Structure 1
Amino acid sequence: MKTVRNLLFGTALLLAAGAAAQNPASYFMEGSILRSQLNPAFAPKRGYVNIPGLGGVDVNVSGNLSVDRILFPRDGRLVTLLDQSVSASDALTGLEAVNTAGSDVRVNLIGFGAYTRDGKHFWAFDLTARANVDGTAPYELFDFLKRGTSTAIRDIGATADSYIEAGLSYSFPLLNDRLYIGVRGKFLLGMARGRLHYDRFDATMDEDRWMIDARGTFDITSARLGINTKIDGKGEAYYKPEDITLRPTQPVGYGFAVDLGAAYDILPDLQASLAVNDLGFIAWGKGHNRTAVSAKELIFTGMEVDANGTKAQPRFDLDVLKFQPSDSRSVTRMLRASVNAGIEYKLWRRKIGLGLLYTARIWEYDTLHDLTASVNFQPIGWFTLTGSYSMIDNRGHAVGLALNLCPGWINFFIASDVILAKHTKQFVPVKQNRMNLTLGLGVPIGPRSRRCERAWTAAE
């Protein structure tokens, strides 16, 4: 039982920690150097050179559970929903039929961009380290562990990958500067990946026995991959995830992706935009891959009874995370693509912008749909303050704040949607099921943008 509880607790923390796409508050901020990451048709007001490691740090988590659905206060301490002091009704009330979450972390290592002489064509190069994690756990698994009732459990899993992204982007005007098209080509160096998935985990508990029927697969790819294989009582080789060590010191996968974007001025102060990002794949080499399967049909008949004659859960380790090695294979995985569609209207001589952004993020186990409304206040050209409100997949909401400063000597951007939320001491939101933090720091270079000249002239 210890193994199952550890697996579930780790999955629950992933689902509740809930940081997949960049902060939506930056989408309509004209001065932000990170804006073009959401739509390659966009560009900052000047060229830039990012501060290595600080040019773009982006941490995002989204899911359909919040911390207050996983951790409960009991007698002055916090316990998980699996604790005996938490009733089954309290533990299960906030759970969905399918509980999913995903995390995306990006760190810009090198970044620079500049306008051409006409101030309208823009190109940029960025080298970024990325890591993604997402997972799923069905309601039936939590229900079984709390109530002990027989149930058929399907699709428990988690995936993770990390890679280096080298991207070259270019955007240019058409239709007398009313339409801007942007393209970013990205060469990908896969560093490590893994996938754990149980398509079946049927559990039954009767008066005199406990039965488990589990079928799962596990595979991992990385350089310098070490596995401490053991031999069971039947003479068969096996290992568990904790028996694996890896040091991703070199690429073991290669791929390509593209971002496509467009921005069209319907009116001088009304702009619609659309982008599709991360259309691509990484092919992971067979030589650095290890694959294993788990097929368990376990029956336990021993039960413990306390002094009052009350039946307790049996003390045993189900060993469902024991995997038998199988033939290694090459793996090709698609990236987690996303779609951004926005519309913005400028007011008060373009000093105030009202924006509406729709975002779809395609994960391994689910697709999340968010709608974000924002108000952008730009009293002077180098200062922008944004407030946003996001409705997350009809299951939650988030209030965000963002600040962008781009005078002649620095370009600084920071945004988060947990500033106004109730949060723990570790700054993890308690009731909010999304968290993001974005930070960017760069040095402006080259000529200023002339993209807005037509719109500003028309507005005046």
Structure 2
Amino acid sequence: MMSGKRRYTVLRSVALLMLMVCPALTGQSPMSTYFMETIPQVRQINPAMMPRANGFYTLPGIELMVGSDLSFSNIFQDKGGEWVSPLSRRFDYDKLYRATGKVFNVNEQTTVDILGFGFRRGRDYFSISYSIKGDLNAGLPRDLFKVTEKGFADGSVFDFSTLRMKTQLYKEINIGYAREWNDKLNVGINVKPLFGMVAGMTDINRLELRTSREKYEVLVDGSIRVSAPVEITEGVPGEFPEDIEGRELEDSEMRAYLTGFRNPGFAIDLGAVYKFNDKWHFSAAVNNLGFISWKSDLNSLSFKGNYSFEGLELDGSNKDDLDDALEAIGDSLKSIINYSTGHGKFSTSLVPGIWLGAEYHLNHYMSFGFISRSMLQKNNFREDLNISANYKPYSFVSVNVNYSYCFNGANGLGTALSVLLGPLQIYAVADYAPVRYSNVIMDDSEFVMFPYQKQLNVRAGLNLIFGRHGNRNNPSIDFR
């Protein structure tokens, strides 16, 4: 049995990992990058935007993003200098429920740029790049917290139907083309062949638990699908498998995962830039319209039905008995719910994004921008707004300072900087940069935390730039 102190430590660790760590898991680039035309990676956001260079090579770079509807200060609360968890009797659940809806969402995304290049030819711009991407999208039901608030009291109904998780790791080849259609309009497209490496997803239509003194009733309808090197050891037919564990890979199998082209997919980005006049430019892009079809190393578990089992004698409202209650429920579910296994194909979608931008050019080296970014996924529509000042005083340096606001999410400052050292460009970009921190005392330990941080998006990397003073048709101003 897990002790109360250990339970407290585990809960804290899970929250720290969820809110502050960006694991290697399609990514939406930082909004700070959008008006940084000196950085070639701007073409990944809006394919109609042409980098301000005659040609470029992209060197390795990385992008990390983590976002959550809840911050550390929502899940843990400051009570007179001591932070308490939902397992504490001093925890204010009403405050927690005001911060989230029926489900709260967690999104974690990573992009690792391997290599790429691009060049301008007349009114056309061509580019190609190769990267490894991944994402994790999870929805956690609010009723999970009701378990710690009220326990398994008589007559309770817990609805976990909004529980979902999707994770995928894949390779992307980005083939980009942009054209100056005329003096006012640029259009662009990114065609992206995709090749999946590993994936897992849930498809839960119904998951409810109803309690009484006589019996507990479970109503369930859903499935879990994976494409990964795992082995399932089946036990009694119709009952939960005896064991699910990862399979050891031979060197040849590992190389196949890293370099193979199985699990094909396809995505597309579309973009346009309209130059209303010398001062005002408007732009729009739709990204990541695509999917991956998973065909290798397939396993699935499906379950459907209404089941009941003998009510527990434990007092669920007693926090010290929660572990016993959860373990007993888990054992009962394994023995009564009928599962079926399979190896069918399935597909996963990317996370589409819609970008709308407006930029006002004060002069050749100073502009102000506005961005709206919408991310579309099941039960998790996210809208971000961003205003920025973009300063390019010399051809070898550019700076962006901005402020972002996410509805029902975070708000905060961001920045971007690119510097040229000869042909070598170094750049770093950040949205929702953490600025408020606290010394958190918890479980007899003290550590530094950003307790109000809900989102963080950073990117950094290297490029080789040729024609750094701008393209031949639209040179930058250089004051040297």
Measured against the shorter chain, the TM-score band is 0.7 to 0.9
1:238 aligned onto 2:260:
no
Equivalent position to 1:450, from 469, 472, 475: 472
Unpaired stretches in structure 2, ≥5 consecutive residues: 250-256, 440-446
Q: What whole-Å deviation, never above 9, does each CA across 1:5-55 have from its counterpart, x for those lacking one?
A: 99999986676449651100110112112211110111222222122x32x
The question of 1:437 aligning with 2:458 is answered yes
Instruction: Name the counterpart of 1:265.
Output: 275
Q: Which residue of 2 aligns with 1:181?
A: 187
Q: Establish whether residue 28 from structure 1 lines up as the match of residue 35 from structure 2.
A: yes
Q: 2:427 corresponds to which letter in structure 1? A: F
- Structural mapping, 1:282-293, within 5 Å: 282-285=292-295, 287-293=296-302
Give the C-alpha shift of residue 236 in structure 1. Answer: 4.0
Structure 1 residue 68 and structure 2 residue 93: aligned? no
Q: Could you give the per-residue CA deviations for residues 52-90 of structure 1, whole angstroms, max 9, x where no partner exists?
A: x32xx1111223211211234579876543455635445
Paired amino acid for 1:444: I
Deviation string for 1:222-258 (max 9, x for gaps)?
3xx22242425xx545338963447644444101111
Q: CA deviation at 1:191?
A: 0.7
Contact 1:32 1:413 (8 Å CA) reproduced? yes
Match of 2:424 among 410, 423, 435: 410
Report the counterpart of residue 199 of structure 1 in structure 2: 205
Using the size of structure 1 for normalisation, the TM-score is: 0.84
Change (3 A) 1:41 1:10: farther
Q: CA deviation at 1:326?
A: 2.3
> TM-score normalized by structure 2?
0.81
Match of 2:117 in 1: 112
Corresponding letter in the other structure for 1:318: I
Residue number in structure 1 paired with 2:221: 215
Instruction: Please list, as runs of the form range in 1=range in 2, the aligned pairs for 1:18-97 lying within 5 A after superposition.
Output: 20-46=27-53, 47-51=55-59, 53-54=60-61, 57-72=62-77, 80-83=85-88, 86-89=91-94, 91-97=96-102
CA–CA distance in structure 1, aligned partners of residues 158 and 314 of structure 2 = 25
Deviations 1:297-348 (A, max 9, x none): 3434342479xx999555434335888342321112222111111010011x
Root-mean-square deviation (Å) = 3.5
Alignment partner of 1:141: what SS?
helix
**Aligned-residue offset at 1:273:** 0.7
Q: 1:226 to 1:129 in 2, by over 3 A?
A: same
**Residue aligning to 1:226:** 230
One-letter amino acid of the counterpart of residue 472, structure 2: R
**Alpha-carbon separation, structure 2, partners of 1:48 and 1:429:** 37
Q: What is the CA-CA distance between 1:380 and the residue it aligns to?
A: 1.5
**2:105 is matched with which residue: 77, 82, 100?**
100
Deviations 1:117-170 (A, max 9, x none): x4x422111001000110112223322442235124122111101110011111
Contact 2:174 2:192 in 1 (8 A): yes
- Tell me the secondary structure at the aligned position of residue 28 of structure 1: coil
Which of 365, 379, 384 is the matching residue for 1:370?
384
Question: What residue in structure 2 maps to residue 345 of structure 1?
Answer: 360
Q: How does 1:366-405 map to 2 (within 5 A)?
A: 366-405=380-419
Q: Relative to 1, partners in 2 of residues 1:31 and 1:387: Cα closer, same or farther, differing over 3 Å?
A: same
Q: Give distance in 2, aligned partners of 1:421 and 1:67.
A: 15
Against the structure 1 CA distance between its residues 390 and 188, is the aligned structure 2 distance closer, same or farther, given a 3 Å change threshold?
same
- What's the CA shift for 1:446? 5.2
Equivalents in 1 of 2:354, 2:301: separation in Å? 34
Aligned runs of 1:146-161 on 2, under 5 Å? Answer: 146-148=149-151, 150-153=156-159, 154-161=161-168
What is the Cα deviation at residue 421 of structure 1? 2.3
Q: CA deviation at 1:424?
A: 7.1
Question: 2:443 matched to which residue of 1?
Answer: none
Task: Letter of the 1:33 partner, please give it.
Answer: P
Q: How far is 1:209 from its partner?
A: 5.1
Q: Is the 8 A contact 2:361 2:368 kept in 1?
A: yes
DSSP-derived class of the 2:146 partner: helix
- CA displacement at 1:397 relative to structure 2: 1.2
Alignment partner for residue 303 of structure 1, among 313, 323, 338? 313
Q: Is the 8 A contact 2:410 2:432 kept in 1?
A: no
Residue of structure 2 equivalent to 1:126? 129
Q: Is 2:64–2:457's contact at 8 Å kept on the other side of the alignment?
A: yes
Aligned match for 1:280, one of 269, 284, 290:
290
SS at 1:258 equivalent: strand
- 1:384 Cα deviation after fit: 1.4
1:239-297 C-alpha deviation (Å, 9 max, x unpaired) = 38963447644444101111111111101121111111111221111x42111124573
Distance 1:310 1:82 in 2: 7
Greater Cα offset, 30-39 or 429-438? 429-438
SS in 2 for 1:238: coil
Assess, with a 3 A threshold, how the Cα gap between structure 1 residues 167 and 211 changes in structure 2: closer, same or farther. same
% identity of equivalent residues: 20
What amino acid is aligned across from residue 238 of structure 1 in structure 2? Answer: F
Change (3 A) 1:300 1:422: farther
| Separation of aligned partners in 2, 1:335 and 1:451 | 36
Per-residue Cα deviation, 1:83-133 (whole angstroms, up to 9, x for no partner): 5563544554433222112222101011111222x4x42211100100011
Choose 137-146 or 80-89, whichever is displaced more.
Answer: 80-89
DSSP-derived class of the 1:43 partner: coil
Residues 216 and 311, structure 2, Cα contact 8 Å, conserved in 1: yes
Match of 2:73, SS? helix
Alpha-carbon distance in structure 2 between the residues aligned to 1:278 and 1:68:
33
Amino acid at match of 1:449: N
Secondary structure of the residue aligned to 2:91 is coil
Give the deviation of 1:365 after TM superposition. 3.3
